[in-house]
Amino acid sequence: MRVAPRRHFGVRGHDFVLERDGVATPVQLRAGEIHYFRVPEVHWEDRLLRMRAMGLNTVSTYVAWNFHEQAEGVFDFSSERHNLTKFIQLADRLGMLVVLRPGPYICAEWDFGGLPAWMLKHTLRENMKFRTADPQYLGFVDRFWSKLFPQVRPLLVENGGPVAMVQLENEYGHFGNASGAEKAYFDRMEQIARRHLGPNVLLISTDSARHNAAGLGTTHSLLAATNLGPWFHAEAHAPEALSLTATHNRGGPQLIMELWSGWFQTWEKNGFTEKHFREHGANLVEYVDFFLKRNASFTLYMAHGGTNFGFWNAATGLSETQEGLLNSSFITSSYDYSAPISEEGRHGFGGDGIDKYAALRNLMARYRKPWEPPLAPEPAPPRLANYSGDGPGGAVVLRRRVPLHDPAVLAALCDWQAESSDGPTPMEFHGQQAGLAFYRYRPVQNMSSAAAGAGTALLRVSEETRGNFLAKEQQGRAWLKLKVRDRVTVWSADQLLQQAEPVTIYGKRAKLGPYKISVPMGMRHKNADHLDILVEHLGRRAFTKRRTSNLDPESYEDWKGMTEAWLGGDKLVGGWQYCALPLADLYAVNGSVPEPSVKRGLGEAAGPSFFEGRFLVGDEPADTFLRFDAGAWRTGTAFLNGFNLGRYMREARGPFDLYAPKSALRRGENVVVLLEMNPPANMTLAGAAVTFKAHRGPMLP
Active site positions, annotated: 171, 258
Distance CA 177, CA 556 (A): 17
Question: Which residues fall within 8 angstroms of residue 232, CB to CB, at 6 or more apart?
Answer: none
The phi, psi pair for 404, rounded to 5°, reads -60, -35
Sheet of 326-327, strands arranged across: 319-320, 326-327, 505-506
**Using CA atoms in the order 131, 135, 138, 143, what is the torsion angle rounded to 10 degrees?**
-150
Q: How far is CA 289 from CA 207, 281, 364, 610, in A?
A: 22, 12, 8, 50
The sign of the torsion formed by the CA atoms of 78, 80, 81, 85 equals positive
Helical ranges in 198-299 per DSSP H: 209-214, 234-249, 271-277, 281-293
Sheet of 417-418, strands arranged across: 417-418, 576-581, 436-441, 531-536, 487-492, 495-498
Distance CA 458, CA 525 (A): 10
**Residue (of 539, 87, 107) closest to 302 by Cα position:** 107
Distance CA 605, CA 613 (A): 18
Identify residue 224 by its one-letter amino acid code.
A
Q: What does 527-542 look like in DSSP terms, one character per residue?
A: T---EEEEEE----BS
Angle between helices 135-152 and 183-197 (to 10 degrees): 30
